[in-house]
């Protein structure tokens, strides 16, 4: 996760310590005071969902699935995370709001020292539910919207889903729960991006997370509507411009990018173009501390059956199951060749990634996309949109980030 607003506009956020080892310089209360050592864990608390979204990485279904944790099992699982020192657990799905023990589990997570946060489609959130979850200790709700009403509803497979999600956002804002938007950018909804930010910032939302499409679950089925690298570059540039425009007007929105660490190199280039080399160096230093793509290191996923994955998008491979071994033991098992390979990927990357000047802040981007597109786990991420001169650092052929 890369914060445009932090890197370009110096906006303090609760994640500064966790993400950039910059807690001391931040005026906001911090998730952690030091750089993240243990992974943030995404927990697909259920496979069941009340919607059927075209891009769902978890391939969620409307029917319940066998094998989901009971309440008691879920508590034991949360104990494992707390014992291992996991800083944040993200209740996800499916749609986590369909679990009728969600509030109880959020409260339990908070009680044992985890920071519970929620990823939801927002359509089941009422003011009452939002207040109940906040009282239980929920710290943040990320609500998915993928376009203006018509496009969003089409994508999510249900008419009225946009309006219901906005009602959910309003319910959270009314109770004072920190709330953000999650928006997965594809060719289908890229034109709506600015409209959605404008519309939701009018509602009072000030945190916007933009996800690149990863090729897992149903996301792999719609890889053909992923933006081309050039379109991706244009969309990210527009987001940077938009963030600066909002901040210039005194509206301090927080904007974040998720799922494509070519963004890291691009932000350095963008900072150099807009603010000069000193600022570019500051941005680079933050991103170096951040550590590049977090797969298998700073992010983990546990699905509804207890299988541990390298990221939430990579559900096709599991390291092990928490019903068999505690999460920490699975995550620390260096005898697993896949885990070992992913954690030493810097030395295994091939093609343009191998000698890229931004390798230390990107680390090859998405290994899942590389695998899905070419079958080569350490080949280049097909969605890297950096230009050759940016990869090589050769100023002879340099243009601007806006090229």
Q: How far is the CB of 308 from another protein (least distance, A)?
A: 9
Beta bridge partners of 59: none
Residue with smaller CB distance to another protein, 41 or 236: 41
> Judging by DSSP bridges, how do beta strands 115-120 and 40-44 pair with one another?
unpaired
In this chain, which stretch among 43-51, 230-238, 264-272, 384-392 interacts with another protein, using CB under 8 A? Answer: 43-51
The reply to whether 322 sits near another protein by the rule CB under 8 A is yes
Stretch that binds another protein, among 14-22, 44-52, 180-188, 394-402 (CB under 8 A): 44-52
Q: Which of 46, 144, 184, 243 binds another protein (CB under 8 A)?
A: 46
| Spatial separation of the C-alpha atoms in residues 264 and 273, rounded to whole Å | 14
Interacting residue with another protein among 274, 305, 352, 398 (CB under 8 A): 305
Residue 287: CB partners within 8 Å, gap ≥ 6? 2, 7, 264, 267, 268, 361
Residue from 24, 27, 70, 249 touching another protein (CB under 8 A): that is 70
Residue of 200, 178, 255, 179 whose CA lies nearest to 11: 255
User: Using CB under 8 A as the criterion, what x/- string covers residues 93-132 for binding another protein?
Assistant: ----xxxxxx---------------------x-x-xx---
Question: For residue 118, what are its two tokens?
Answer: 């929620």
Q: How far is CA 381 from CA 156, 214, 362, in A?
A: 27, 11, 11
Using rule CB under 8 A, residue 65 touches another protein: yes
Look at the block and give the residue holding tokens 């000030």.
206
Contact flag: residue 402 with another protein (CB under 8 A): no
3-state SS of 221-275 is: HHHHHCCCHHHHHHHHHHHHHHHHHHHHCCCCCEEEEECCCHHHHHHHHHHHHHH
Q: Work out which of 59, 148, 223, 234 binds another protein, going by CB under 8 A.
A: 59
Q: CB-wise, 125 or 227, nearer to another protein?
A: 125
Q: Which residue has the tokens 């996301």?
A: 219
Q: Of 16 and 68, which CB lies nearer to another protein in the complex structure?
A: 68
| CA–CA distances in Å: residue 363 to residues 260, 265, 291, 352 | 10, 11, 8, 12
Q: Residues binding another protein: what is the number (CB under 8 A)? A: 54
Q: Do the beta carbons of residue 189 and residue 215 sit within 8 Å? A: no
Does residue 223 touch another protein according to CB under 8 A? Answer: no
State which of residues 72, 248, 249, 334 lies at the interface with another protein (CB under 8 A).
Answer: 72
Stretch that binds another protein, among 163-171, 245-253, 274-282, 299-307 (CB under 8 A): 299-307
Tell me which residues touch another protein (CB under 8 A).
46-48, 50, 59, 61, 64-68, 70-73, 75-77, 79-80, 83, 97-102, 124, 126, 128-129, 305-307, 315-326, 335-338, 371, 375-377
């Amino acid at each position: 996760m890369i914060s445009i607003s932090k890197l370009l506009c110096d906006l303090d956020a609760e994640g500064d310590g966790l993400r950039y080892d910059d807690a001391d310089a931040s005026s906001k209360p911090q998730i952690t005071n030091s750089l993240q050592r243990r992974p943030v864990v995404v927990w697909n608390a259920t496979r069941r969902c009340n919607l059927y979204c075209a891009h769902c990485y978890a391939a969620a279904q409307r029917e319940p699935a066998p094998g989901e944790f009971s309440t008691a099992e879920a508590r034991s699982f949360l104990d494992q995370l707390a014992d291992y020192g996991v800083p944040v657990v993200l209740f996800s799905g499916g749609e986590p709001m369909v679990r009728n023990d969600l509030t109880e589990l959020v409260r339990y997570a908070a009680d044992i020292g985890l920071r519970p946060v929620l990823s939801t489609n927002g359509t089941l959130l009422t003011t009452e539910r939002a207040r109940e979850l906040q009282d239980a200790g929920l710290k943040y709700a990320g609500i998915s919207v993928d376009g203006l009403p018509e496009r969003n509803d089409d994508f999510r497979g249900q008419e009225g889903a946009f309006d219901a999600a906005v009602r959910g956002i309003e319910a959270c804002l009314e109770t004072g729960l920190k709330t953000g938007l999650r928006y997965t950018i594809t060719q289908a909804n890229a034109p709506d991006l600015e409209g959605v930010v404008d519309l939701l910032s009018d509602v009072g939302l000030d945190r916007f997370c933009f996800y690149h499409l990863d090729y897992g679950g149903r996301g792999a089925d719609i890889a053909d509507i992923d933006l081309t690298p050039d379109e991706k570059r244009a969309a990210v540039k527009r987001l940077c411009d938009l963030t600066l425009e909002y901040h210039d007007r005194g509206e301090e929105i927080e904007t974040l990018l998720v799922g494509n660490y070519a963004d890291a190199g691009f932000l350095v280039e963008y900072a150099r173009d807009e603010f000069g080399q000193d600022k570019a160096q500051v941005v680079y230093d933050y991103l170096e501390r951040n550590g590049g793509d977090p797969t298998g290191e700073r992010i983990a996923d546990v699905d509804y059956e207890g299988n541990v994955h390298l990221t939430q998008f990579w559900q096709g491979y599991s390291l092990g199951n928490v019903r068999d071994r505690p999460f920490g033991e699975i995550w620390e098992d260096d005898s697993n060749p896949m885990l070992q390979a992913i954690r030493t990927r810097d030395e295994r990357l091939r093609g343009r990634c191998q000698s890229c000047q931004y390798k230390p802040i990107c680390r090859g981007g998405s290994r899942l996309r590389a695998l899905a597109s070419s079958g080569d786990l350490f080949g280049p991420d097909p969605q890297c949109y950096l230009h050759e001169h940016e990869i090589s650092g050769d100023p002879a052929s340099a243009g601007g980030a806006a090229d």
